[in-house]
Structure formats: C-alpha cells, structure tokens
Chain A
Amino acid sequence: MSGVIKQTWSPATDEYQSTLIELKDMVSACMQCGTCTASCPNGFAMDVTPRRMWRMIQFGMLDQILESRAFWYCSSCYMCTLRCPRGLKLTSAMGALKRLSRLDGSWAAKKNGAFYEAFMDNVEVYGRAQELSLMNRYFLKRKNPALPLSFIPLGMKLMGKGKLHIPNRTQRGRLKAMFAKAREMEISS
C-alpha cells in the first residue's frame, strides 16, 4: 500500500528510512493480544488503538497511522511496555512514530509535537529547560492566540507562589555543539 510506495519512491531522508526500519523491527513480533490497548490510560482518546497500530505497521499501512492522531496521545507511561507479553518496546515505538510524523513535516506534527519542539529548542539555547521561556516558545509555535489565555490562571497562581523565574543563563549555549553534531549525524545516517 501507500506505506510501501513511500519506502521505495519517496525522497525520504536516510533518517526517515532508518527510523521506519527500526519501527518495523520493534513491532514485528506483535501477536495482537491487545494487552497494550487495555493497559493504555489514554487509549480512550485514540482514534486508532495501539494494538491496531502495530498491525497496521506490520501491513505497511504507515500513511494511515501517520494521518491518525493516536500516537500523540502517548504520555510515555510505559504501561504497555511493562505488560507486553512479547517484551516489545512499545513506548519507544510511539516515540519513533512521533519522530516519523515530524520528519514527514505533517500538520499534526507541527501542532501535536509543538511542545516537544519548544522544549528541545529551549534546552538547546539555555542548556537547561526554563519553564517560562519554554511556554512562551510553545505558544509562538502553536500560533493560537486563545491558547496562552487559557494558561493565564495557572501562570498567575505560579507567579503568586514564586514559581516563575527569568531564565537561568549559567549553562547558556553549553549544548550547542552537541545539538549540531547530532543533527549532522542524523541527516547523514
């Protein structure tokens, strides 16, 4: 199906190909018992259940999975990984799907992955996550003016408790070289 076409013909990067191969390896032994779906605390919100997702990957239906929003609802709680009778690293597979969607440049990745992107940008700049500037960066990425408004009450509460801080600059730029190196390696892997 389209997933197969993508593997063969699309100008996907090497990183995309290697992540895809890794993902297929991760779930190839899935026997469809459904323990992952039953264990997932966020499964109720997913349009494709985890069990179905693994089967779709086995069938090469990657495009349909990437069109779904299901894997963005993984909160990395590792309950599926813990309980999988085959010992599959299913939480890592969810992470790989998030990376593929990002490499795809999809709209869903821009929206649902905005927090992760903002977090990593923030760490690249400051060396440590700085909550206040991280949230500002996240709001900018989401481009939704109503979103920051919904966080104002929490912000006020945190400010009242003295929990908001201007960015700590002691580690600023400390990780720049590592980020650059990783990017270079991932593009040419």
Chain B
Amino acid sequence: MRYAYYPGCSLLESAQEFDVSVRAVMECLGVTLEEIPNWTCCGASAAEPVSKLMNYALPARNLAIVEKEMGGIDVLAPCSACYLNLLKVNKEVIGSRELHGKVNEVLSASGQRYAGNVKVLHLLDVLLNDVGVKLVEEKVTDGLKGMKVAPYYGCQILRPYAVFDDPGKPTSMEPVLKALGANVYEWDYGNRCCGASLMVGHRDVAIRSVAEILNGASDADVIVTVCPLCQMNLEAYQAQAVKAGGVRVPVLYLSQLMGLAFGFGEDVMQLKKNLTMTAGVRDMINNKVWSQLRQTESGEELTGVEP
C-alpha cells in the first residue's frame, strides 16, 4: 500500500505529534507514505471567505502535483480541513466545466493543470477499508484493555461529503479502538463542532462548544481526535472551558493511541507535546491505571491554559 502523503501545515507546526505518530503507525502497518513534493497550503477554512477561486486552486495545486509527478496515486490527508478541501476539488470542480476551466487557468500561472484523476482518502478510510482492522489487531502488543476512549470525529471528515461513514452517527473509529483493546465510550458529541477558527476571533462562542464536548466525555479516560484543530481547541483551552462549566479530559490523537498499543512508547509518540498530557496522565497511561485514577482524582491535576 502506497499513498501520496499530504501532511498539511499544522502537522509541521503545532501538531507535530500527529505527523510523527501517523508516519510511525502507518509504517508499522506496512503502508508507505510518500510526501507530496513541494506541497503548499490547502487554504483551510480561511480561503473560502476571501477568494472562491483560491479556495479551489490551492488544494487543486497539490492534487496536480500528485497527478503529474507521482503517477496519480491515492492521497492520504490526516487533517480534516485538508482532507475536505482536497476532496472538494474532486466533488465540486471536476464535472463543472466553467469552474474547472477557471481553476486550471489559475493553476496555469504556475505551469500546472489538474485533470481530476487523483483520489483523496482520509486516515480512517485507509485504516478501515485498505489496511483493515484485522491487521491493526495483529500489531497490538500492549493493549489498552479497559481504557474508556471517547471517539471525537469533528466536522469536516464526514460533512458535507460522507465518503466512508455516517455523518449523523459516525462509528468508523470504533472497530479500530476495539482492536486496540479499548472500550468505546458512548456519547453524543462525537460529531459536534469544536468551534474551529472561531476560537481565534470569537472565543466565547467556541469555548461553549468545547465545554459541552468535554462534559459529554466526563466519564471517559481520554478523548481521541483525528484533526489538529479539534485537538488544539479541545486541549489548549480546557482551563477556560472549565470556567464555562466544562470538565477536564485528556485528549490524544488516534494515531498516538494506536502507537502506544503497538508498543512504541510515549517518547516515540511524543506524548509530552500534548497540552493535556501531564506527568499524572502519562503515568496513568503507562501503568494502565486509567479508570482508577480518574475515579480517585477526577483528573484534577491536569492543567490547561489560563485565559
């Protein structure tokens, strides 16, 4: 299995632990990730409010490189916004003659064009449908038996285009978590929006969403995410969310949790980079005493960011 890997900007910056853990876990599963040469930003959710053309041309540029220089192999994008933006080109530009023409006109400024032959896949899609849960289960050496994990999907991996799961009630992380030996925590906030970039300009609004999500996971040992922005919003603002009535819950990337279960160890999975991974939480994970710890201390020693 070989994919063109599109890390996206955050994975080289504040979400390096996501990048490192995805690469390590995928390699362990026999998946080859080849980074797209000279990839550039997909525009995230900031391009659409500024320029309709750039909203499509930015992600299309990266697909054009894969089409021309990488033999048009499938693209794997771990970040939700990157995934949606790349997917959007195939769904909205390809098939619309006028828009496709305009996007290619913009691309021609840098000597490129995109015909529409590259498939875009999300990490969960690859894990479930290409790698398979059976292989994941075989790689587990250090199971997470009894750990209550709340799967958090966020918005853009299934909305508005539901490619591999039900956007109303997503379940695609559950087989993976069960394969790791964890218990899936039942909750209703798995597909609730974390506020995304509203956290920058309208923090009071986004904090309310984050507090509700954290409260929804109050009895879970950890929340796992598959998006760098969800991860940032859920963990960096916990102190403020607590003031808005939320509880503290540690937050990990799914790939980090997989790596731990595969026996990689907390250093390789860069657990110390996570903002909610205090020494206490890392001990809890290392010594597999999650449930007891949360019952006795309710995660009180976790520290978030004060406003």
Contacts and interface: CB of A to CB of B under 8 A. Distances in A.
Contacts of A48: none
Contacts of B32: none
Among B55, B168, B200, B205, the one with the most A-chain Cβ atoms within 10 Å of its Cβ is: B200
Interface string B35-55: 000111101111111111111
Contact of B48 (A44, A45, A98): A98
A139 B274 CA distance: 25
Interface string A155-187: 001100111110010110011011111110110
Interface string A130-152: 11000000100000000000100
B125 interface: no
B159 A81 contact: yes
Interface stretch (A3-11, A25-33, A55-63, A70-78): A70-78
Given A79-B193, A165-B13, A19 B273 contact: no
A185 B106 contact: yes
| Size class of the A contact interface (CB-based, 8 Å) | 35 or more
Nearest to B213: A41
B9 A130 contact: yes
Nearest to A160: B275
Contacts of B162: 82
Contacts of A119: 44, 46
B206 A178 contact: no
B47 to A, nearest CB: 6
B196 interface: yes
B198 interface: yes
A183 B50 CA distance: 11
B46 A161 contact: no
B137 interface: no
Contact of A128 (B12, B14, B237): B12
B272 interface: yes
A183 B192 CA distance: 35
A1 interface: no
A185 B57 CA distance: 12
A87 B12 CA distance: 36
Interface residues of B, number: 63
A78 B87 CA distance: 14
A113 B307 CA distance: 23
B197 interface: yes
A81 B156 CA distance: 12
A77 B41 CA distance: 20
Interface of A: 19, 41-42, 44-45, 72-73, 75-79, 81-82, 89, 91-92, 95-96, 98-99, 102, 112-117, 119-120, 123, 127-131, 138, 150, 153-154, 157-158, 161-165, 168, 170-171, 174-175, 177-183, 185-186
5 tightest A-B contacts by CB? A77-B193, A98-B49, A78-B159, A119-B46, A181-B109
24 contacts: A19-B52, A42-B205, A72-B201, A75-B196, A75-B197, A77-B159, A79-B159, A81-B159, A82-B168, A91-B160, A95-B55, A113-B49, A120-B46, A128-B39, A131-B14, A154-B237, A164-B14, A171-B40, A175-B110, A178-B106, A179-B54, A182-B54, A185-B53, A185-B106
Interface of B: 9-10, 12-14, 16, 38-41, 43-55, 57-58, 61, 102, 105-110, 155-156, 159-160, 162, 167-168, 192-193, 195-198, 200-202, 204-206, 208-209, 236-237, 272-275, 305-307
